[in-house]
Amino acid sequence: MAPNTHVKRAFKAMNDLGITDAQVKPVLKNLLTLYDKNWELIAEDNYRALADAIFDSQESHATEEVKGKEKKGDEAESSAVEVDRGKKKALESLEEDEDELEPPLKRLRRRGEGVSASGDLGSPSLEEHTTHDEDTTISLPFHPQPTENNADAETNGHGDDPRTSIKRYSEQRLATTLEESSTLELASSETGEVKINLSFAPATGGSNLRVPTMEELRRAMEDKCLRSYKILDPDFSVGRFMGDIVTCFLELSKNAANQPPESLPTNVEEKGEAGESKGLVVVPECQISAEDFRLISSINDVTLGKETLEIPWVNEVNSKVPPPFRYIPQSYVYLDAAVKFSVGNMRDDDQRCSSCCGDCLAPSVACSCATALSGLTSYTKDGLLQNDFLEECVSEARDPQKHVLQFCKECPLEKAKNIEILEPCKGHLKRKAIKECWINCGCINKCGNRVVQHGIHNKLQVFFTPNGRGWGLRTLEKLPKGAFVCEFAGEILTISELIKRSSEKLTFPVILDAHWGSEEASGVDKALCLDGMHYGNISRFINHRCSDANLIDIPVHVENMDFNYYHLAFFTTRDIEALEELTWDYGVEFNDHVYPTLPFHCQCGSEFCRNVKRISKSKKAKKRA
């Protein structure tokens, strides 16, 4: 997208919040430097980062003004209050937008089992303040055992119950955030009990505000944290998170007890030895800048050790580093996507494959998994795709019109591409698919009918392409025809969720419509898709090539035969030389109506390039006119 289009959109979003161009300009300039011109991050959440930066800047100006006026003995509250009000109003508006555009992330569950995902995708930070005109204290169920120092805990020697006395806690405040107008305070009583105190700027609310219940607050905070930070741990709870704050607080307090008062923690954002933040302020998910990514990513391994082998990146063209994203070796389920597989269900006898034994490809009659979908096995004993099977898949992908297609009246997938202009349904193929044996089968782990589930095993490299296509993926070794390369991993979304996302930004999701037409798999809230933009694996670097790409995506059922969800695995369509780029036909159409803007100007170089055809056709049309 041309830079001024980005700028215009940013101005427009801010204007909608009542912020003038003059206010936006200097802040946007700073933000662009800070975010290394990463418009995607800036535009995220309806330009939330930009709005926040503007309000922060206004706030600091207002504070400076207040200080100046205070010196003169002036009453300076009004301007700060105005800023607070403005910020509140805009935050509310942003939040409304956000609620509209992106529904609360209930849980990002790990694909399938619903087991706890690794916690390395960030942890929550305390959110910005809500509004209230009085102090509100949340008492956490943390009651340390009395120690020598707090033996008379219950009355604290003053006759007050330390669990209800806000005043005394406030007097003994040990830690607070920087802003005094709306603050988070941590306080401990002499008994060692800890309270978290949320206090809000008196001017930001009315006198009729209702104190929410702890349960309401907990639920709202959980939704907010899950939505903002995309926490993957299905057991995440704000209660426990706050409990952790209390525990850390106590530990820090104990460690600090023998030190002079100035060395006590003064801010929840504590700095580590090397200056890095090791406290509670966590960069929200996927809001890492390119520079951050350079620091956390390794040139030796863009997967950060999440695959069984390292995948290095190299840039011999310029000094750019790979774009920021979170590497996930397997897909994750976003909010509403119904992927209901669980190991528990697999215990049912009718779900088991009774014929699996040893290596299912070794016996003359293959097991029922290996032959489930076509009657023939999909893999050879060398772990490659059977040639006939592969050729049929390639033919389906390259010449879909030659195969049986199913058409819908009002295609939800077309809707997902462009909600304004509804294109007619392009038809859905009932695609060839693979069923692999799995852990519920009686065969060995090295059974020949298990390929995709064992993950990437060829030497790959991310590299910067020399011809304007950004980063790409290439193989460092020769690959035979029919070899598995990698899976497309990303967030699993429903079409409705995708529509909401696509109205924000252009993404290239993969629609899982291989079984379109079956009752379970069709419809906006049933059909699923994968978005690898923010959370993805190595496949997010695979560039597009029209028609004669050297990779093909094939649906693979691993855990079960659920038509709603399957893995999408990339296999080679021909022998590939070492250092050759790996490409895939995104199926993208280069005509003006499909996407609100042209997806990209295709530089695939293929003689079948659809974009070239379009350009030359329109040139010819112009000449004729």
Ligand X SMILES: C[S@@+](CC[C@H](N)C(=O)[O-])C[C@H]1O[C@@H](n2cnc3c(N)ncnc32)[C@H](O)[C@@H]1O
Residue ranges binding ligand X (CB under 6 A): 323, 469-472, 508, 540-541, 543-544, 600, 602-604
Decide: 578 and 478 in contact? Cβ < 8 Å: yes
User: Distance between CA 586 and CA 583 in Å, rounded?
Assistant: 9
Decide: 239 and 121 in contact? Cβ < 8 Å: no
In the complex, the smallest distance separating the C-beta of residue 342 from ligand X, rounded to whole angstroms, is 31
Nearer to ligand X, 448 or 509 (CB): 509
By beta-carbon distance, which residue lies closest to ligand X? 470
Nearer to ligand X, 320 or 347 (CB): 320
Which residues have C-beta within 8 Å of that of residue 353, sequence separation ≥ 6? 367, 368, 369, 437, 440, 441, 442
For 422-448, letters b (16+ CB in 10 Å) and e give: eeebbebbbbbbbbbbbebbebeeebb
Decide: 590 and 599 in contact? Cβ < 8 Å: yes
User: Distance between CA 125 and CA 230 in Å, rounded?
Assistant: 12
In the complex, the smallest distance separating the C-beta of residue 417 from ligand X, rounded to whole angstroms, is 14
Decide: 123 and 238 in contact? Cβ < 8 Å: no
Nearer to ligand X, 150 or 543 (CB): 543
User: Distance between CA 84 and CA 135 in Å, rounded?
Assistant: 17
42: helix, coil or strand?
Answer: helix
Decide: 25 and 6 in contact? Cβ < 8 Å: no
In the complex, the smallest distance separating the C-beta of residue 465 from ligand X, rounded to whole angstroms, is 7
In the complex, the smallest distance separating the C-beta of residue 603 from ligand X, rounded to whole angstroms, is 4
The tokens describing 481, both together, are: 């025809």
Nearer to ligand X, 58 or 539 (CB): 539
Nearer to ligand X, 324 or 482 (CB): 324
Nearer to ligand X, 89 or 320 (CB): 320
In the complex, the smallest distance separating the C-beta of residue 558 from ligand X, rounded to whole angstroms, is 23
In the complex, the smallest distance separating the C-beta of residue 604 from ligand X, rounded to whole angstroms, is 4
Nearest 5°: CA angle at 432, between 426 and 436? Answer: 140
In the complex, the smallest distance separating the C-beta of residue 429 from ligand X, rounded to whole angstroms, is 22
Nearer to ligand X, 38 or 543 (CB): 543
Nearer to ligand X, 112 or 472 (CB): 472
Nearer to ligand X, 484 or 590 (CB): 590
User: Distance between CA 505 and CA 46 in Å, rounded?
Assistant: 10
Nearer to ligand X, 48 or 544 (CB): 544
User: Distance between CA 166 and CA 135 in Å, rounded?
Assistant: 9
Pairing relationship of beta strands 194-199 and 183-188 according to DSSP bridges: antiparallel
In the complex, the smallest distance separating the C-beta of residue 533 from ligand X, rounded to whole angstroms, is 8
Paired residues of 567 in beta bridges = 556
User: Distance between CA 371 and CA 108 in Å, rounded?
Assistant: 33
Nearer to ligand X, 306 or 544 (CB): 544
In the complex, the smallest distance separating the C-beta of residue 121 from ligand X, rounded to whole angstroms, is 20
In the complex, the smallest distance separating the C-beta of residue 32 from ligand X, rounded to whole angstroms, is 19
User: Distance between CA 143 and CA 154 in Å, rounded?
Assistant: 11
Decide: 35 and 53 in contact? Cβ < 8 Å: no
In the complex, the smallest distance separating the C-beta of residue 543 from ligand X, rounded to whole angstroms, is 4
Length of the chain: 625
**Helix H or strand E encompassing 184:** strand 183-188
CA atoms in the 13 A half-sphere facing the CB of 61: 11
Pairing relationship of beta strands 551-557 and 434-435 according to DSSP bridges: parallel
Write the burial class of residue 582 (CB in 10 Å: 0-12 exposed, 13-18 middle, 19+ buried).
buried
In the complex, the smallest distance separating the C-beta of residue 575 from ligand X, rounded to whole angstroms, is 22
In the complex, the smallest distance separating the C-beta of residue 608 from ligand X, rounded to whole angstroms, is 12
Q: Residue type for 143, please?
A: H
Q: Cα torsion for 150, 155, 156, 161, to the nearest 10°?
A: 110
In the complex, the smallest distance separating the C-beta of residue 491 from ligand X, rounded to whole angstroms, is 14
DSSP state of 10: H
User: Distance between CA 95 and CA 73 in Å, rounded?
Assistant: 38
Nearer to ligand X, 17 or 549 (CB): 549
The tokens describing 590, both together, are: 């280069």
Write the burial class of residue 393 (CB in 10 Å: 0-12 exposed, 13-18 middle, 19+ buried).
buried
In the complex, the smallest distance separating the C-beta of residue 502 from ligand X, rounded to whole angstroms, is 13
Torsion sign across C-alpha atoms 205, 209, 214, 215: negative
Measured CA distances, 310 to 81, 319, 535 (Å): 53, 22, 18
